Chain A
Amino acid sequence: MKHLLTSDTEVDDLERLGLLASALSGSPLQVASLESGEPAWTDGKTVFIDPATDVRGRLQALTVQASLLAAGSLAPEVIGKLARRPALARRYLAVEGHRALVANDQLLPPVVRSLIDCDIAARSDSPAASLAAAQSVQEIADPPAIFGAIRVRNLLASKGRADPSKPTGEHIPGRQSDKKLAELHEDENGDGGDVVDIFSSPVGGGGAIGRLLQKMLGVVRQLGEGGSPGADAPTHRTRSGARGGASFVFSTRQAGVIDDDGDAQRGTTYPEWDVHRRRYRPNWCTIQEVEPRPKADDTALGLSDAYGLRRPLARLGVGLDRFHRQVQGDDIDIDAAVEARVEVLAGSAPDEAVYLDSLRRRRDLAVLLLLDISGSVAEPGAQGQTVHEQQRAAAAAFTIALHDLGDRVALYAFHSHGRSAVTLIPVKRFDDAVDTLVMRRLRGLVPGAYSRLGAAIRHGAAVLEGHGGTSRRLLVVLSDGLAFDEGYERVYGAADARRALAEARRRGTGCLCLTIGASTDADELRRVFGSAAHAAVPRLDELNQMIGPLFRSALRSAEVRRQISARNKLSRERNDA
């Protein structure tokens, strides 16, 4: 129920408060709406507030919840003692709320400071002391309604998810709350999360049957929307044990959005290499560019240089060059000076550009990142995260690092559903800025369907050559190396992908293929990526050590190819002449 949203503008309004909430709590925190009339609460990652309250009320409710988090009031060891005791939780909130606000006083917005009751705050100096006060017999007035509520279960469930060493099931006993019905009546708000969970998971959610049902229901819904279950199935994550949380990943889209033969006329067509007949099939594949759908949950992908990629990438081609005949510079350019002197003596106006200067060679590099989002990358990799999550993090890191270095960079994701529906999703085109929207688009990508690698590479190379705008170009393919689609079986697909890479290299575009965290074996990768620079990176944090040499060798081989083809062209022209 808590995710029921009334209108887009309200959602937007609340979302904007996220920065304020993060500032007040000192850690990333989002704001979402709950059903009108319910008290505000938080699960430690998101604050849920009633969108119907006025601006002042929202601010106060938000500040109280964020301050509770900042002051450590909601630490599991304290609130664990409040579980299933709503009356105690209210008494605790009444004392601890004031204490948390006082502790956070330096940061409180002015309208919130009026909430503080110093007398109550003085009763406690720590969460433990507040708990002791709440447990004592002393009289404590109910907290103001704006303080909201502490939802112990949601908090514990969320903390449990954050700490993988503890199985979540321990914190969420199935339906034990029935035993405490007497206390529940004292306070209807105390454990509202329970109701929510029963709705969303009819058999208790955490158990094996619940997971199975979730899975089945999920797939059924996919079918209802006309998607292909075979293609989408591996992409689904179950909601096992995830109660009251904010970050599920589950697919609600069909993979082949445009798999309709009638569409074959639209989009861009590319040939495909038929290895069995040793010839190209002209206009065989149709590429569609589909606008991405941003996803508002973007806490995990900041704009920082997370994996230290900037330093190795910075060393690509930033040497110093000496430039002659400059208007200003370190030294006098003797030749130019002599000429200028001669001109003066001859009576004409001299050229004043008589200096030598050493300048950094301009970075002249455009990079297009191709991100594989076929169904196979949704499988868990070696590090617990799915291959998709790791590739996505790498794509974000590359985009940010290269952009910061002043390179032209674009990021396209791809998957396919037959030769007439190869979909490329421009997450960032060359001319887009790197901002939160790009990161949200990236977060919004959902793996599904197959990968017709060759067509994606041909389109990526074409975009790079058309819009890159620099003479040095690099195509980076982030894929698990499993090229497979309808009528595109392994051997055929590998040959086509290899061919597509070779075509791009021949036109002077460097190609680099990276497999991150996937368990694809080296022979398979070699079959698909051929002689292009390719590497399997087992862990993301090893990327920064490997990436410098890989980029350099990819660029160098393209440079060599370009020189060879330029020479060949020249000699052909001479022969013709």
Chain B
Amino acid sequence: MPDQERRPYYVPVGDEEHVFKAAFRQGLSVMLKGPTGCGKTRFVEAMAYDLERPLITVACHDDLTTADLVGRFLLRGGETEWVDGPLTRAVREGAICYLDEVVEARQDTTVVLHPLADHRRQLPIDRLGITLDAAPGFCLVVSYNPGYQSVLKDLKDSTRQRMIAIEFGFPPTDVEEKIVACEAAIDHDKAAQLVRFGHAIRRLETAGLREVASTRVLIAAGRLTAEGLSPRVAARVAVVGPLTDDSIVTRGLVEMIDAYLSDQVT
């Protein structure tokens, strides 16, 4: 059952909620595509809440192995003991299993998802010699950032084609202002200033920045201003710092902060 009392704050931009719920009812696996910090994880949390399923999240990293997902034997005293991995637990419990940044995982790892993601909905565990059928309510969701810098890792076509894809982008200005204002608990004008600054940075996509300012960093800056920091300082530490290490680009971005954000603390 969902952990939270309240529905996680998510503002739909298009029909993504309907699409997700339809896929869930049909037992299809879902791939969420979009840049970092645009709300993919929050969306899954909101969906898990709406569908009243537990959510098991796995942050994928490049040393994630099949055993990390499925489970492994451990030695306890003189005995071996099987410990379920998060994927196996989700399959048994009928939970939504969310693999965050799935491209980061090794390709040999993602293959284990294949029988789960297609019509079979099964998880073979060769170490135990069993095949688990997914419990009703199990849903596999992966997120994937197509522009991510690790180009050397891409999802296999055979994996991709077992899923439906929902594309995410940064929300339109008015929605994003609302999100920043609500999440950071700041007034609408301040949020609008930050969003305007964020939009300006997003226009720079080609100029030496690998990633642009996400909604997440704007919210972080907003939260700092809610604590009494001036918007300029907040934007410098929450937006510019995380975006780049390059001193020349940093100076250019600081110049943009000066142009877009006022200095007074209210």
**Chain A residues close to B by CB (< 8 Å):** 16-20, 22-24, 26, 28, 55, 59, 106-111, 299, 302-305, 310-311, 314-315, 320, 329-332, 337, 340-341, 344, 354, 357-360, 404-405, 433, 435-437
Contact = CB atoms under 8 A, between A and B. Distances in A.
B247 A24 contact: no
Contacts of B193: 110
Nearest to A303: B208
Interface in B10-30: none
24 contacts: A16-B254, A18-B252, A20-B252, A20-B255, A23-B200, A23-B256, A24-B203, A106-B199, A109-B196, A109-B260, A110-B193, A302-B208, A305-B151, A311-B152, A314-B152, A320-B106, A330-B72, A341-B78, A357-B65, A360-B62, A360-B63, A360-B106, A436-B246, A436-B249
Interface string B193-231: 100100111011011101000000000000000000000
Contacts of B246: 435-436
Given A19-B207, A19-B253, 20 more contacts: A17-B252, A19-B204, A19-B255, A20-B200, A23-B203, A28-B207, A55-B258, A59-B259, A106-B173, A107-B199, A107-B203, A299-B207, A329-B67, A330-B67, A332-B80, A340-B75, A341-B78, A344-B78, A357-B65, A360-B63
Given A106-B199, A305-B151, A19 B249 contact: yes
B255 A330 contact: no
B240 to A, nearest CB: 11
B108 interface: yes
Contacts of B201: 23
Closest 3 CB pairs of A and B: A19-B252, A314-B152, A330-B67
A23 B65 CA distance: 42
A79 to B, nearest CB: 23
A76 B7 CA distance: 54
Interface string B76-118: 0010100000000000000000000000001010000000000
A569 B75 CA distance: 46
Given A107-B199, A111-B259, A311-B151, A436 B67 contact: no
Given A24-B200, A341-B78, A16 B251 contact: yes
A193 to B, nearest CB: 27
Nearest to B254: A16
B245 interface: yes
B63 to A, nearest CB: 7
B73 interface: yes
A20 B62 contact: no
Given A344-B78, A436-B246, A106 B196 contact: yes
Nearest to A437: B248
A435 B245 contact: yes
A394 B199 CA distance: 32
Contact of A16 (B73, B78, B252): B252
Given A59-B259, A303-B208, A337 B75 contact: yes
A350 to B, nearest CB: 9
Residue with the highest number of chain B CB atoms closer than 10 Å, among A20, A22, A344, A360? A20
B65 A405 contact: no
Nearest to A105: B196
Contact of A310 (B108, B151, B254): B151
B95 to A, nearest CB: 23
Contacts of B65: 330, 357-358
B104 to A, nearest CB: 12
B149 interface: yes
Contacts of B249: 19, 436
Contacts of A405: 152
A359 to B, nearest CB: 7
Contact of B203 (A26, A59, A359): A26
- Of the candidates A108, A337, A405, A436, the one having the most CB atoms from chain B within 10 angstroms of its own CB is A436
Contacts of A357: 65
A480 B65 CA distance: 46
Residue among A18, A109, A315, A337 facing the most chain B CB atoms (10 A cut-off): A109
Contacts of B80: 332
Contacts of B145: none
Counting chain A CB atoms within 10 Å of each CB, the highest count among B65, B73, B248 belongs to B248
A320 B108 contact: yes
Contact of B75 (A303, A311, A354): A354
B206 A28 contact: yes
Nearest to B248: A436
Nearest to A296: B248
B151 to A, nearest CB: 5
B151 A332 contact: no
Given A106-B173, A107-B196, A20 B152 contact: no
A388 to B, nearest CB: 23
A108 B197 CA distance: 9
B204 A23 contact: yes
A330 B203 CA distance: 45
B143 interface: no
Q: Which of A22, A59, A106 has the most CB of B within 10 A?
A: A22
B75 A332 contact: yes
Interface in B126-185: 127, 149, 151-152, 173
A337 B256 CA distance: 60
A17 B255 contact: yes
Most buried by A among B73, B108, B249, B259: B259
B66 interface: yes
A110 B72 CA distance: 58
A435 B259 CA distance: 25
B207 A22 contact: yes
A20 B260 CA distance: 10
A38 B149 CA distance: 44
B9 to A, nearest CB: 24
A23 B260 CA distance: 12
Q: Which of A23, A311, A404 has the most CB of B within 10 A?
A: A23
A68 to B, nearest CB: 16
A17 B206 CA distance: 16
A304 B201 CA distance: 17
A22 B152 contact: no
A24 B207 CA distance: 13
B204 A433 contact: no
B245 A433 contact: yes
A22 B208 CA distance: 12
A18 B72 CA distance: 54
Nearest to A340: B75
B252 A331 contact: no
Query: Which of A16, A26, A110, A331 has its CB near the most chain B CB atoms (within 10 A)?
Result: A16
